[in-house]
Amino acid sequence: MKRSFDAMEAKPVFLSKEERQRLALERRQAAVADQRRSALDILQSLPRPPPPPPPSGAPRDSSSSHRDPSDRDRGDRGDRDRDRDRDRRRDDDSRRDRDRDRDRDRDEPSRRDRDRDRDRDREHRDRERGERDKDREKDRLEKMAEREREKELEAIKEQYLGSKKPKKRVIKPSEKFRFSFDWENTEDTSRDMNMLYQAPHEARLLYGRGFLAGIDRREQKKAAAVFEKETRAEQRRKFGVEDRPEDDVADKKKAAAAEMYDAFDMRVDRHWSEKGIEEMTERDWRIFREDFNISYKGSRIPRPMRNWPESKLGTELLRAIEKVGYKKPSPIQMAAIPLGLQQRDVIGIAETGSGKTAAFVLPMLSYITRLPPISEDNEAEGPYAVVMAPTRELAQQIEEETVKFATYLGIKVVSIVGGQSIEEQGFKIRQGCEVVIATPGRLLDCLERRYAVLNQCNYVVLDEADRMIDMGFEPQVVGVLDAMPSSNLKPENEEEELDEKMSRLQKILTDLGDKTAIVFCNTKKSADNRAKDLDKAGFRVTALHGGKSQDQREISLDGFRNRRFNVLVATDVAGRGIDIPDVAHVINYEMPSSVDTYTHRIGRTGRAGKKGLATSFLTLDNTDIFFDLKQMLTQSNSPVPPELARHEASKFKPGSVPDRPPRRNDTVYASH
């Protein structure tokens, strides 16, 4: 594939894993050094501890406790001597004072020296203790930093080399049923589809293409056709594959062929490319997938599309594809477009240049054509779809591919990439566009600055998602996804939600106790299947639909009236004209497509002033009735479920969405 890169524009820098690892280490080391520095600063600014108390041998003032021994005999002397003694004593005292002063003057320098030495010693000891504390703190910080560094290294190693912890392997149901190209004995469908193989140990005389000798060949063919039909239906049920009208047609054709004795069974089967879609067998689909190297992982997978006309892209889009000149879909398009059209979450993997862009762009545009065009009423709510890509070159390339088709549909596309004026880009979004193609960083910036919102965005494409993560854009991508209202999110596990339906029905019926209920289905087949499922689950159930003979219908109705059965699974046959007693609960297991039928159905409960309850299972397959149902609930003052109220389909009457006038040059190139 050829890509146009603008050499003049600054390109993003791509770092190898080693470089990123090295940069991360350097950043970490710098952070640890900073941490250590600030810890030391804090330590130094702490107040010093008070000096220790003086040693016990320090000199103490004892003058008051000393007495002169010459005073001892003073009282024994006569008054005569007293004056003389006093004078002599005075002289002695003054002499002693003089001597003491002289001694003190002589001793003073050495005493000061001693004090100074003592102070110095104390300071020295304090300093040493401080140093030791500092060293200890330093050691502690270093050890902490070392531990941090080791943890960091472990995390980096784990990120790049994978975790050492053994992970418990949980096999998902999707993996269990994964398609594998290796043939295994169990995959030989001829065993399942042909009665002959049911009892392989029995001795059988065979001739021709697996027919029993001596038994009418036409009867064998008929029995085989019935057996194959039942086996196929059983398998579809088992794997949750929906019944399709094509399968019904193919079954009928086989049954008709079995009626004819025209040596059909002797013919060699044709190649899938020569067959109509309704003639395709499981084996044909397998060969088809192998021819195009298509493989899937997941469940409830729709058939790939063999060509454009067989896709469900809609006439407008098919015309656009023709004008663009794409003659045949590429394998990734064959596989991914039917999934995209079902609005399933898809991860598409294909080699470069294999047409991945159109594989996600076409279902996205098909989705948008079913919505009202962006107009003054809703342009402030933002685009309907967002595509994110890791680089501006890729974003612009996707934009080119999108515009090729969008231009024929009147769909406006805006690209939001770095290096251009963000104000102008925000302005373009606010002017209204259905699709935004962006690099995640710039788009998040736009959203954070409130230049744009994503209030009605239900469709997100991440092109080269793995590269976006490698380049460190995960936070921005997550930021953009967070900017979408959570009410737009699909359920975490779609499978669960779809399966959820039967278990809910069983819960409702269990709570019903002995009361009666009618469960409405839209087709005979589905009514039969539901009745079988409920019967297996132990409910007292009977089925009523147009495929039953008069006798069977009467048996069912009588059984329901006399409470032998308390659950009636029915198609609309029971909705009109048949006298069914009032029931406690009506359940629309499958919603009808018209609100009239809905009214008739729920009219089976709450009659003659009694209380009744109606429960309807509404899914995205029922969007046709969303608008009318919402109106009806509003008019009858019934609460409207919020999921219904905010769904686009409930806001416009089906078919009332105005046609899009073809608008050319709708792409907006914002530049600075």
Ligand X SMILES: Nc1ncnc2c1ncn2[C@@H]1O[C@H](COP(=O)(O)OP(=O)(O)OP(=O)(O)O)[C@@H](O)[C@H]1O
CB of 5 to ligand X, least distance (A): 12
Residue 411 falls in which region: left (phi positive, over 0), alpha (psi -120 to 50) or beta:
beta
Nearer residue to ligand X within complex by CB, 306 or 630:
306
Select the residue interacting with ligand X from 280, 301, 334, 358 (CB under 6 A): 358
CB of 439 to ligand X, least distance (A): 15
- Does position 340 interact with ligand X (CB under 6 A)? The reply is no
185 binds ligand X (CB under 6 A): no
- Pick left, alpha or beta for residue 355 (phi over 0 → left; psi -120 to 50 → alpha; otherwise beta): left
Residues 383-422 touching ligand X, rule: CB under 6 A, are 401
* Amino acid letter, residue 219: E
Contact 364, 340 (CB under 8 A): yes
- Options 18-26, 219-227, 350-358, 364-372: segment touching ligand X (CB under 6 A): 350-358
Q: Are 387 and 398 in contact (CB under 8 A)?
A: yes
Question: To the nearest whole angstrom, how small is the minimum distance from the Cβ of residue 394 to ligand X?
Answer: 7
Shortest reach from residue 465's CB to ligand X, in Å: 12
- Give alpha helix (H) positions in 489-603: 494-512, 524-536, 550-561, 595-602
Site map 282..321 versus ligand X, x via CB under 6 A: ----------------------------------------
Closest to 584 (Cα-Cα) out of 531, 508, 652: 508
Cα-Cα-Cα-Cα torsion 359, 361, 364, 369, nearest 10 degrees, comes to: -120
Neighbours of 540 (CB within 10 A): 16
Q: Is 329 in the site for ligand X (CB under 6 A)?
A: yes
CB of 354 to ligand X, least distance (A): 4
Single out the segment in contact with ligand X by CB under 6 A; choices: 230-238, 270-278, 345-353, 442-450: 345-353
Residue 1 interacts with ligand X (CB under 6 A)?
A: yes
Is 352 a binding residue for ligand X by CB under 6 A? The answer is: yes
CA-wise closest residue to 589 among 533, 534, 530: 530
Residue 531 burial (C-beta neighbours within 10 Å; 0-12, 13-18, 19+) = buried
CB under 6 A: which stretch of 127-135, 247-255, 349-357, 380-388 binds ligand X? 349-357
- Residue 439 engages ligand X in binding (rule: CB under 6 A): no
The residue type found at 155 is A
> Which ranges of 370-520 does DSSP label H, i.e. alpha helix?
392-409, 422-430, 440-448, 465-470, 474-482, 494-512
| Of 307 and 510, CB closest to ligand X | 307
In the complex with ligand X, which residue's Cβ is closer, 435 or 602? 435
Name which of 356 and 428 has its Cβ closer to ligand X: 356
Residues binding ligand X: number (CB under 6 A):
14
How many C-beta atoms lie closer than 10 Å to residue 191's C-beta?
A: 13
Instruction: Pick the piece of the chain touching ligand X (CB under 6 A) from 15-23, 346-354, 535-543, 604-612.
Output: 346-354
Nearer to ligand X, 403 or 531 (CB): 403
Per DSSP, 493 falls in state: -
CB of 326 to ligand X, least distance (A): 4
- Is 330 a residue that touches ligand X (CB under 6 A)? yes
Which residue shows structure tokens 């029922």? 622
Check binding of 354 to ligand X (CB under 6 A).
yes
Is residue 432 at the binding interface for ligand X, with CB under 6 A as the rule?
A: no
What is the separation, in whole angstroms, between the first and last Cα of the chain? 29
Minimum distance from residue 275 beta carbon to ligand X (Å): 22
Query: Which residue, 357 or 425, has its beta carbon nearer to ligand X?
Result: 357
DSSP result, 449-462: TTS---TT--EEEE
Tell whether residue 336 is a contact of ligand X (CB under 6 A): no
Burial of residue 395 (number of CB atoms within 10 Å: 0-12, 13-18, 19+) = buried
CB 560 within 8 A of CB 580: yes
Q: Which stretch binds ligand X (CB under 6 A): 176-184, 328-336, 337-345, 469-477?
A: 328-336
Sequence-separated (6 or more) residues with CB below 8 Å from residue 526: 243, 589, 590
Nearest approach, Cβ of residue 458 and ligand X (Å)? 23
Question: Binding to ligand X by residue 355, rule CB under 6 A?
Answer: yes
Tokens linked to 26: 């350097």
Q: Does 363 bind ligand X (CB under 6 A)?
A: no
Q: Site residues (CB under 6 A) for ligand X? A: 1, 326, 329-330, 333, 350, 352-358, 401
